[in-house]
Chains A and B, each alone.
Chain A
Amino acid sequence: DAKTTQPTSMDCAEGRAANLPCNHSTISGNEYVYWYRQIHSQGPQYIIHGLKNNETNEMASLIITEDRKSSTLILPHATLRDTAVYYCIVRVGTGGFKTIFGAGTRLFVKA
């Protein structure tokens, strides 16, 4: 699976959009970008995933660059409950079971 690079930590004001970047310059054509988050003392939670197109669900939006070498997770209106570690993962979308977590980005949402 392709390796990802994320900032170690980020701050965001409550109510503002949180934009979390991820670099995956060695991504292959059949590899998806997945985002998970982990709130303290809980198991990771799936947020969103995509292959080429931008994606949106009730939790977040995922913007993938045209060359697929980087992506951005957007939390449109961050709340204090969004404080967590956010993991960007690249993996084969079908038949591959290896979901390998990198170091992630620690997001602090401040009042």
Chain B
Amino acid sequence: DTEVTQTPKHLVMGMTNKKSLKCEQHMGHRAMYWYKQKAKKPPELMFVYSYEKLSINESVPSRFSPECPNSSLLNLHLHALQPEDSALYLCASSQVGPHRGSEKLFFGSGTQLSVL
């Protein structure tokens, strides 16, 4: 199984709503990532978890709250978002360690988020 599964595929939410994005992988990867991608722009790194601990936070606003409950799951909790947060949210995973090629990322198809 070389898939990273993201749910839901599409999400529409109001600025006062609370919602969560979910990401799952069963490749035994111990690093998981959240990226944000606006239309016609490259993906931007948001968060990285390594061994279920937050390793990197790229100065993301607190209205985005990541969670890694176990080695296979990654969540992104959303609260009080703004319309400019509308984007494709991508999850990725990779191995961790000194082995050559271990950091190649496997991406999910993303969640297309619209904030009204």
Contact = CB atoms under 8 A, between A and B. Distances in A.
B104 A101 contact: no
B4 A95 contact: no
Interface stretch (B14-22, B42-50, B62-70, B72-80): B42-50
A25 interface: no
A87 B104 contact: no
B98 A43 contact: no
A51 B102 CA distance: 13
B104 A46 contact: yes
Interface residues of A, number: 25
A99 interface: yes
Contact of A99 (B4, B103, B109): B103
A98 B92 CA distance: 12
A32 B46 CA distance: 22
Contacts of B101: 49, 93
Contacts, number: 58
Contacts of A43: 4, 90, 92, 107-110
Interface residues of B, number: 27
B104 A49 contact: yes
Q: Which of A51, A91, A100 has the most CB of B within 10 A?
A: A100
B55 interface: yes
A98 B45 contact: yes
A90 to B, nearest CB: 12
Interface string A70-104: 00000000000000010100010111111111111
Contacts of A102: 42
Interface of B: 4, 31, 33, 42-45, 48, 50, 55-56, 90, 92, 94, 97-98, 100-110
Which 7 residue pairs of A and B lie closest in terms of their CB atoms, listed nearest first?
Answer: A43-B107, A101-B42, A97-B48, A46-B104, A94-B98, A101-B43, A44-B107
